[in-house]
Amino acid sequence: MVKIAVLKEKAAGETRVAATAETVRKFIALGADVAVEAGAGLSAAIADADYAAAGARLGKAADILAGADIVLGVQGPDPKSLKGIAPGAWIIAGLDPFGQRARVDAYAKAGVEALAMEFMPRITRAQSMDILSSQSNLAGYKAVIDAAAAYGRAFPMMMTAAGTISAARAFIMGVGVAGLQAIATARRLGAQVSATDVRSATREQIESLGAKAIFVDSVEGIEGEGSGGYATEMSDAYKAAQAELVSAHIAKQDIVITTALIPGRAAPRLISDAQIASMKPGSVIFDLAVAQGGNVEGSVADQMVERHGVKIIGYANTPAHLPADASALFARNLYNFLSAFWDKEAGRPLLPDEDEITAAIRLTKGGVIVNERLLATA
Ligand code: NAD
């Protein structure tokens, strides 16, 4: 019987858990034995008793890892903690392969097969397994909610007996999964919303959500969706045109949510200190990219910084601020992945070497790094 172990997250500030009572039950229905580290779900509002009722064994890390074939995590476990697992066991989590290269090397050395969920390819078949999408969606929502909480005014237009309050103006920079959810959330709260991106395909998406599209027209951006839905670093001419456009627009905004990322690189700088100085005091900027280097000059992870009367916020780990929902979706992503590759005869998931998903997410096997993206940046 294949043994799945679910660890309690050890990283500072990580409140999520990689399995819920629901996914434990589903893994057991597939024929797996599931063991959960005691207390693993507490910060996501899942009690040990809930896991036990779903059929999981509970125990200390060393006990649940003994003989484990598959170890599930939100973030990658410390390689030193993995003693006792089965040879060639799979480690499945958000492994931050570029940021935590030494840890990936240690997984290779330990002879385990490390599978990085954030490298899931953007193909239709893998959509339900995509942790970047599920977590970004919630992060986009949370950014708007927390920006609204820090804003000393209301979002919607209000007509009261004492007079009228005008609607907040919200500007969303970067319209991927997080940005689209930020637009929808800010609209629901009653703000007047505008948004921008470098990928031309987002123009229609912005407009279909009832927001105004603000685009650089003088220099060509990225045609359509971009490669795999991702942006690349832009030319200097584009950056200059974007800075000019943003300068003209941002001074009139009350709320700015930045979400721009470029895979494997530092986040692009979108807002300078001079642009912040042009904003009205009391405005709020939420930098969702703060942990990847930041879109906003002066933003500091997990701190509220005030510059020129403007509040700048951003979390090192935004989904961890919604642990119950973020865990529920993350856990389903893991289940959807493993169940799609479940081999009934073998009684466990099998990853064919030639499968596109295997090639994309497998980092280590047989003691070495095997992933093309990682090898290209070695
Ligand atoms: P992301 O987190 O990598 O980046 C966020 C956004 O920032 C992107 O829209 C990007 O274009 C934008 N950006 C980058 N540099 C910028 C700059 N200098 N200025 C302004 N904006 C900039 O992106 P994401 O949220 O992961 O998604 C990107 C796309 O991939 C979306 O269209 C999404 O629908 C698609 N997607 C497809 C699948 C799938 O088919 N399985 C899964 C997830 C996402």
Query: pLDDT per residue over 265-307, tens digit each?
Result: 899 999 999 999 999 999 999 999 999 999 999 999 999 999 9
Q: How far is the CA of 198 from the centre of ligand 1 (A)?
A: 9
* Mean pLDDT rounded to a whole number for the chain: 96
Our answer on whether the CB atom of 292 is closer than 6 Å to any ligand 1 atom is: no
The single residue of 69, 103, 130, 254 carrying the catalytic annotation is 130
Report the candidate in 53, 30, 225 with the shortest Cα–Cα distance to residue 122.
Answer: 225
Q: Which of 277, 292, 93, 74 is nearest to 176 (CA)?
A: 292
Band (229; pLDDT cuts 50, 70, 90): confident
Helix (H, G, I), strand (E, B) or coil at 295: coil
Is there an atom of ligand 1 within 6 Å of 122 CB? Answer: yes
Kindly state the average pLDDT of the residues 316-343.
98
Please report how many Cα atoms fall inside a 13 Å half-sphere around the Cα of residue 256, on the Cβ side. Answer: 30
Does the Cβ of 268 fall within 6 Å of ligand 1? yes
Q: Which ligand 1 atom sits closest to the C-alpha of 238?
A: 18
Rounded to whole angstroms, how far apart are CA atoms 151 and 77? 38
Summarised one tens digit per residue, pLDDT across range 130-154 is 999 999 999 999 999 999 999 999 9
Q: Is 133 a catalytic residue?
A: yes
Give pLDDT, residue 114. Answer: 98
- Nearest atom within ligand 1 for CA of residue 239: 18
Contact 208, 201 (CB under 8 A): no
Residue 117 has pLDDT above 70, yes or no: yes
Atom of ligand 1 nearest to the CA of 234: 18
Indicate the pLDDT class of residue 335, thresholds 50, 70 and 90: very high
pLDDT in tens, 313-325: 999 999 999 999 9
pLDDT for res 61: 95
Q: Give the model's confidence band at 163: pLDDT under 50 very low, under 70 low, under 90 confident, else very high.
A: very high
Residue 227's pLDDT is what?
77
Task: Give me the pLDDT at residue 264, please.
Answer: 77
Q: Is 142 in the pocket of ligand 1 (CB under 6 A)?
A: no
Count the Cβ atoms, other than its own, within 10 Å of residue 98.
15
CA-to-CA distance for 197 and 242, rounded, in angstroms?
10
Closest residue by Cα to residue 363 from 92, 10, 122: 92
pLDDT of the residue at 95: 97
CA of 136, closest atom in ligand 1: 25
- How many Cβ atoms from other residues are within 10 Å of residue 65's Cβ? 23
Residue nearest to atom 39 of ligand 1 (CA): 122
pLDDT for 230 equals 83
At residue 224, does pLDDT exceed 90? no
Structure token pair of residue 370: 């095997």
CB 27 within 8 A of CB 57: no
Decide if 51 is catalytic: no
Instruction: Reply yes or no on whether 127 is catalytic.
Output: yes
Range list of β-strands (E), 146-226? 158-160, 163-165, 169-173, 192-196, 212-213
Q: Is 131 in the pocket of ligand 1 (CB under 6 A)?
A: no
- Given pLDDT bands bounded at 50, 70 and 90, which one contains residue 225? confident
Percentages helix, strand, coil for the chain (3-state, rounded to 5) are 40, 20, 45
**Ligand 1 centroid, distance to 172 Cα (angstroms):** 13
Name the closest-CA residue to atom 11, ligand 1. 231
Q: Is 229 in the pocket of ligand 1 (CB under 6 A)?
A: yes
Per-residue tokens: 288: 């969702």
Which atom of ligand 1 is nearest to 231's Cα? Answer: 11
Q: Of 53-67, 185-199, 234-248, 295-309, which gets the smallest average pLDDT?
A: 234-248
CB of 259 closer than 6 angstroms to any ligand 1 atom: yes
Q: Which pLDDT belongs to residue 378?
A: 65
pLDDT of residue 282: 98
The CA radius of gyration of the chain, in Å to the nearest whole number, is: 22
Q: Strands 169-173 and 255-258: what pairing?
A: parallel
What's the pTM? Answer: 0.95
Active site residue 122: yes
Question: Is residue 132 within 8 Å of 177, Cβ to Cβ?
Answer: yes
Q: How would you write 103-129 as a 3-class SS string? A: HHHHHHHCCCEEEEHHHCCCCHHHHHH
E strand residue ranges, the chain: 3-6, 33-37, 57-59, 70-75, 90-94, 113-116, 158-160, 163-165, 169-173, 192-196, 212-213, 255-258, 284-287, 305-307, 310-313, 342-343, 348-349, 364-365, 368-369
Round to whole Å and give the CA distance between 199 and 196: 9
